[in-house]
Chains A and B, each alone.
Chain A
Amino acid sequence: MTDMSESWSGAGLPPAAAERMAEVRGSGTWSSALSTGEFAAVRAVGFEPVGQVMGSAVYHVGRSGRYWGYHDCLFNGAGFGFSFGGGAGPAPVALSGQGAPSAALVDVFEQARRTALGRMTAECSVLGGDGVVAAELTMAPFPAQPNCLEFKVIGTAVRANGPVRSKTPFTSHLDGQGFAKLVTAGWVPVELLVGMSVGVRHDDYRTQRQTYSWQNVEVTGWSQLVHEVRADARTQLQRQGARRGGDGVILANGTLRVWREGCLRAASRIGGTSSEQEDHVAEATMIGTTVARFETGGSRPGTLAVLPLGNRGDRLRKRLAAVASSPYGDPAEYRRLVTELNDAGGQG
């Protein structure tokens, strides 16, 4: 290995990665993180692994505070007493998808993720792969420096048997078995996508009144906040999916985070650094893969109802461990496996 002294402009692959790719391509030996089951499944549908590929990017992402101003609630009544602020009408949801200041923050995240994904597909292309399966996209704090995040994506590059090649490799969060099932049923993964949205809403008079009520009451403003943020993340996902095309998006996982922040707008209105008024911020992220339907000459096998005789308990436990250790293991899949494991009872 080199001593990392080569300088790198940020374009193309980092020198260390380029060197590893050249080595792998020369040696004819591939590495992969696929389990035996996944490997067999991928091979069975006519694809073979060509190597483990990775893409990474460290970004500085400053988020909260007045300097960045991302979490501005855009409410005209902020900072006024409630008797006056009430005249400004209900507080709106400042949504990143509609050009609120938080859009800049969402852009940084999107750019970082796209850089990491781009580097991974570049590695895949160098190895002559047609796409990446079991790509795991993670975001972790960079330990040495505050406010720095590492965006990393790692997966296994595969190559299709046959003469046809696609210009851009596909990327997909699906594991080997998932990929095999999809291809068998006549669907090909296209692109791993992340839809993200940030919404900010000022806690206006009505919201406060509702939260202090003695009666059952819906907190309408907050319902609106979480609904709009989720819906926006979904729209972003669709928008990104349409960029390259496809027929649909299969979601891997979706998360929503809600927290409270001192209202920036109210603070600057009264000329201080903080105010008693507060905003609620919601951040929704949805990860998924676009899929496209293809027609094929051969007939597709239908699904068969089966009674398994094998050691089902062990297999389920292995699947469960795999789902639990994956960074965006599907919680629904996890619950299903647990139930199935309980149902299996003495038959395991």
Chain B
Amino acid sequence: MTSSDPTAQGVPADAMRRLAELEPGKPGSIFTSDLSVNEFLLVREAGFKPIGLVLGSSIYHVGIQLGRWGKNQELTTLSQAMYHARELAMTRMEAEAAALGADGIVGVRLTVEAREFGNDIAEFIAIGTAVKADNPAPGGGSWLNNKGLPFTSDLSGQDFWTLIRAGYAPLGMVMGTCVYHIAHQKMGAVFSNLGKNVEIEQFTQALYDARELAMSRMQAEAEELNAEGVVGVQLNAHNHRWGGHTTEFFSIGTAVRPLREDHQIERPTMVLSLDG
């Protein structure tokens, strides 16, 4: 195995030579990337070059809406706010990537943060790494999605590598959200259930309704992109700052399309690590 010994191959010497020959770069000749080392290397190996860190943010003031105390209902103003603000952040990030001539954005993190801006105001941020493909997509197609925009994906570099290897390409991040007010129990119901372990159908139904709404909205976005499917779906409940009985259900995933017919990954090798 001497041929794979890096020192024998002169790897450290080659690295040092490059370092010694470094020259100051021209502005704009350097890319920035938010990927970890593992991700960076895997994205490169999947045939994509990082070209820049892209970001979009929106600071959003959420309007006021009151839910009826005893009624299960979607709070449409809040749902729309969550949707619109995320959409703004994503669009701005995509615009930056398109300006760089990117084919896609990987490792997108879409987060909401409450900063020192005051109540009812939150920052919605989208950060990712814009990438450009070394080769055109198999079959001669473009990597851009059917809206002519760079693809987006919240998959990590590891998942991205696996996805490309398996013959799929991301199309875009799809999301659905629903802010729901869950009815309080009526006095009579509380008393009749006293001391009993029973299902509260009203609550179950509320959670079902809200989740189904969020998921069907995500589904609709995926259909708009002509996706074959959605991978890596996360369905989360966020309580933000609206108090009890009001919850945001947020589902997000990456819509994918097939690149080729056979979706085979080479058979994995079994390994036993000796370092742990």
Contacts and interface: CB of A to CB of B under 8 A. Distances in A.
B24 A258 contact: no
A53 B271 CA distance: 35
B128 to A, nearest CB: 11
B44 A185 contact: yes
Nearest to B234: A339
Given A223-B59, A251-B53, A296-B10, A242 B37 contact: no
A178 B270 CA distance: 23
B180 interface: no
B23 interface: yes
Contacts of B275: 36-37, 40, 315
Contacts of B9: 296-298
Contacts of A44: 6
A294 B12 contact: no
A2 interface: no
Contact of A231 (B6, B55, B267): B55
A215 interface: yes
A160 B15 contact: yes
A23 interface: no
Contacts of A230: 55, 57
A15 interface: no
Contact of B20 (A166, A210, A251, A310): A166
A295 B41 contact: no
B201 interface: no
B35 interface: yes
7 tightest A-B CB contacts, nearest first: A162-B13, A298-B9, A315-B276, A294-B18, A46-B12, A160-B12, A46-B7
Interface of A: 36-37, 40, 44-47, 130-131, 160-167, 170, 174, 178, 181-185, 187-188, 190, 210-211, 213-219, 222-223, 225-227, 230-231, 234, 237-239, 241-251, 254, 256, 258-260, 280, 288, 290, 292-298, 301-312, 314-315, 318, 330, 332-333, 336
Given A130-B19, A218-B58, 18 more contacts: A162-B10, A181-B37, A211-B61, A215-B63, A217-B63, A219-B117, A227-B56, A234-B32, A234-B53, A238-B28, A295-B14, A306-B271, A307-B271, A309-B271, A310-B271, A312-B273, A315-B273, A332-B107
Interface of B: 3-4, 6-7, 9-20, 22-38, 40-42, 44-45, 50, 53, 55-64, 77, 80-81, 84-85, 88, 92, 107, 109, 115-118, 120-121, 123, 125, 127, 156, 158, 161-162, 165, 265-276
